[in-house]
């Protein structure tokens, strides 16, 4: 149930992010996403109901989209084409490793 909630949140976040293209302040959007997820995790640590935990995972999935998509966009726009594979593999390792 919790994994499904995260998936639903990521789908909703992706749809919202694709409808409203944020070209400016992508770095700020990433920071706000991190702060949002931090607050939701604090709320999640105090929850004692499966419903509240499911809502928290929906919000974490929703906020995760606003972290990863702008971050990868900034990285790919600022890296030279010849170094793209090397740098993106390091970024992927750092964020998922």
Instruction: Compute the distance between CA of residue 67 and CA of residue 87 in angstroms, rounded to an integer.
Output: 18
The mean pLDDT value of the chain amounts to 89
In this prediction, residue 8 has a pLDDT band, given cuts at 50, 70 and 90, of very high
Which sequence spans correspond to the domains of the chain?
A: 2-96
Mean pLDDT of 55-80: 89
What's the pLDDT score for residue 27?
84
**86 half-sphere exposure, CB direction, 13 A CA radius:** 5
The pTM score is 0.81
């Amino acid at each position: 149930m919790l994994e499904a909630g995260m998936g639903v949140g990521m789908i909703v976040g992706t749809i919202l992010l694709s409808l409203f293209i944020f070209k400016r302040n992508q770095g700020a959007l990433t920071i706000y996403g991190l702060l949002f997820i931090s607050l939701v995790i604090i709320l999640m640590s105090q929850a004692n109901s499966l419903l509240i935990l499911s809502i928290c995972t929906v919000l974490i999935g929703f906020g995760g989209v606003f972290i990863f998509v702008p971050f990868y966009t900034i990285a790919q726009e600022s890296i030279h084409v010849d170094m793209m594979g090397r740098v993106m593999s390091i970024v992927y390792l750092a964020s998922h490793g």
